[in-house]
Amino acid sequence: MTDLRDDFPILKNKIYGQRLVYLDNAATSQKPSSVIDSISDFYKYDNSNIHRGVHYLSELSSDLYEEARKKVSTFIGSSDPSEITFTAGTTDSINQVAFSLKSTLMGNEVLISGMEHHSNIVPWQLAGAKIKTIPMDEDCNLLLDSMEITDKTKLIAISHVSNVLGTVNDIKRITEIAADHDIPVLVDAAQSIQHLPLDVEKIGCDFLAASGHKMYASSGIGILYTNNRYSDIMPARGGGGMIDKVTFEGSTYLSPPLRYEAGTPNISGAISVGAAIDYMQNIGLDKIREHEHDVYSYAKERLLDTDGITVYGNNEDMCGSISFNIENIHHYDLGLILDKMGIAVRTGHHCAQPLMELLGTEGTVRASFALYNTKEDIDILMDGIEKARMMFS
Amino acid sequence: MSDHIQDEIIEQFQGLEWLEKYELLISFARELEPMHEQFMTEEYAISGCQSKVWIRTHIENGKLIIHLDSEAMITKGIIYLLMKVMNNRSPQEIVDLDLYFIEETGLKSNLSPARADGLASIIKRIREVAEMEIN
Ligand SMILES: Cc1ncc(COP(=O)(O)O)c(C=O)c1O
């Protein structure tokens, strides 16, 4: 799979005169040429507003946009494209659900894990809900048997894969428990949609949120899956494109998904998501999974072999991100030094301050992988870490 | 306006590769007089820095004395230089001071507001303290 690097123009660039080792994929992924072309082709040949005009281009762009929606729907295992709304990103998707469910959530509780991104914490607080967490063991694995559901629990909102630890949470079991209590489940798939096969119908979740930019597509575009059971919840935004009839006395809305897409959406962004899905499917999701698993296992093995290292979280099923600290080296120093060797990692709290508190650290160094990363990248990272250790010895 | 402390620093960094610059900063960091732990609290912290930075200042004989510390070594090395350049000047001198060594040593890329390092926030805080002393 080494040749996949060639599909990504930015990876050919030299950083400080060295090969770019991009290990900040959980923040955002790089884009293959086919995705970049889908955006520029849209503006060169197809651009027009959608669902509005009768003219040729308007129909063309509407078709492309709706085709992208169908691709997303199939990709995540929904049998009905009207369950897919295009949003601005995971954060936006979650905020929209929080707004729509506000009257239910206000004064009640949302159950989340201790490893959530701020984007899956703050929207619930803004909706007036109290946050409760599912207990974790010392390896940061959820203790689902000790999960406490009360009369006040109105939603379970959980990341599929942790953006800090890479832990894959057992969503299926959570939805089963939730179903016994008739509580909806929102899955934050920001860190899983690009790594694992997703099947919302098998998982049995009610909402699922993801970001285009983390799955090889453009930024400013996101996905929200809303199960048809919830097709009549309040739209979070009002305006053009989502209404059936407007009068000063009141308005009626179109059916989903258009009801949830007020205003002109990010058309080229949606098309780029479709192109990214095509790109991944052409390689083969199983092949991607297998390759990423190899690289991840190799990284973990090499890191665990390092003196004075703490690797956070431990689970049989992990992917995407791996977080660590090296004794006597501040994460920020390590990040700066690796940067100058052309290695891009992220340092800090990774928008998960409550998790940092649980881990007893101010921040970590996080390496996160995409389909174009190789064992060679890991070797370069390990050499970089060794070099940094010498500088601090 | 040039000053010899800054010129000397620029000379030390002349022709160094990035990692050599960091090595030099780490060696400066080791010389930094540590702040007493009791002051490493929110009260003395400068926000906007990814590595925590603490600041204490006082006036001695009309000069502003600045003491900075951080938990990260590279940040410590940079604040060591800042202290070297800015300390023992009157508040007015500090407000007027052109910190040209930051650009000329190439450390400026650590200064940009986008950097979580927040060197810019440190300098801003020092200038604010100096301005308060003037008024
Ligand atoms: C688990 C998780 N949830 C939510 C988000 C927010 O995504 P976005 O910034 O694209 O809205 C991220 C991004 O880092 C994430 O990793």
> Predicted ipTM?
0.89
Burial (Cβ within 10 Å: 0-12, 13-18, ≥19) of residue A247: exposed
Q: Cα A353 to the chain's mean position, in Å?
A: 18
- CATH, residue A258: 3.40.640.10
In this structure, which amino acid lies at residue A262? A
pLDDT at B2 over 70: no
Residue B10, pLDDT above cutoff 90: yes
Cα distance between the two ends of chain A: 37
Give me the pLDDT at residue B1, please.
Answer: 55
* 3-state per-residue secondary structure call for B56-124: EEEEECCEEEEEEEECCHHHHHHHHHHHHHHCCECHHHHHHCCCHHHHHCCHHHHCCCCCCCCHHHHHH
Q: Are residues A321 and A354 in the same domain?
A: yes
Work out how many CB contacts closer than 8 A connect A with B: 41
Q: Does B114 touch chain A (CB under 8 A)?
A: no
- Residue after which a domain boundary falls, among A231, A262, A282: A282
Say yes or no: A10 and A50 in one domain: no
Domain endpoint, select from A282, A304, A320: A282
Please choose, from the candidates A348, A77, A16, the residue with its C-alpha nearest in 3D space to the C-alpha of residue A227. A77
pLDDT block averages, 10 residues each, chain A of length 393: 88 94 98 98 96 88 97 98 98 98 98 98 98 97 96 98 98 97 98 98 98 98 97 91 92 93 96 98 96 98 96 96 97 94 95 94 96 98 96 91
> In terms of domains, do A194 and A289 share one?
no
Ligand 1 pocket, residues with Cβ under 6 angstroms: A 26, 89-91, 117, 119-120, 159, 163, 188, 190-191, 211, 351
Total number of domains in chain A: 2
DSSP state of A46: I
| Owning domain of residue B8 | 4-134
Where residue B60 sits, what CATH number does that domain have? 3.90.1010.10
* Number of domains comprising chain B: 1
**A211 Cα nearest atom in ligand 1:** 10
Q: Is A6 in the same domain as A85?
A: no
DSSP letters spanning A105-132 = HTTSEEEEETT--GGGTHHHHHTTPEEE
Do the domain assignments include residue A30?
no
Give the Å distance between the CA of A189 and the centre of ligand 1: 9
- Looking up residue A337, the CATH number of its domain turns out to be 3.90.1150.10
Closest chain A residue to the Cα of B118, Cα to Cα: A332
A295 lies in the same domain as A198: no
Whether B19 contacts chain A with CB within 8 A? yes
A351 as an active site residue: the answer is yes
CA dist., res. A333 & res. A246, Å (int): 57
Same domain, A204 and A336: no
Give per-residue pLDDT as tens, B20-74. Answer: 999 999 999 999 999 999 999 988 888 777 788 999 999 999 999 999 999 999 9
Boundaries of domain holding A143: 35-282
Q: Examine residue A28 and state whether it is found in any structural domain, yes or no.
A: no
One domain, residues A236 and A251: yes
**Cα A194-A197-A203 angle, rounded to 5 deg:** 120
CA of B74 to the centre of ligand 1 (A): 29
From chain B residues 61-90, the ones with a CB under 8 A of any chain A CB are: 71-75
Instruction: Please report the pLDDT score of residue B117 as a whole number.
Output: 56
pLDDT tens-place string over residues A153-179:
999 999 999 999 999 999 999 999 999
Q: How many CB atoms lie within 10 A of CB A287?
A: 13
Same domain for A97 and A223?
A: yes
The residue from A249, A282, A315 where one domain ends is: A282
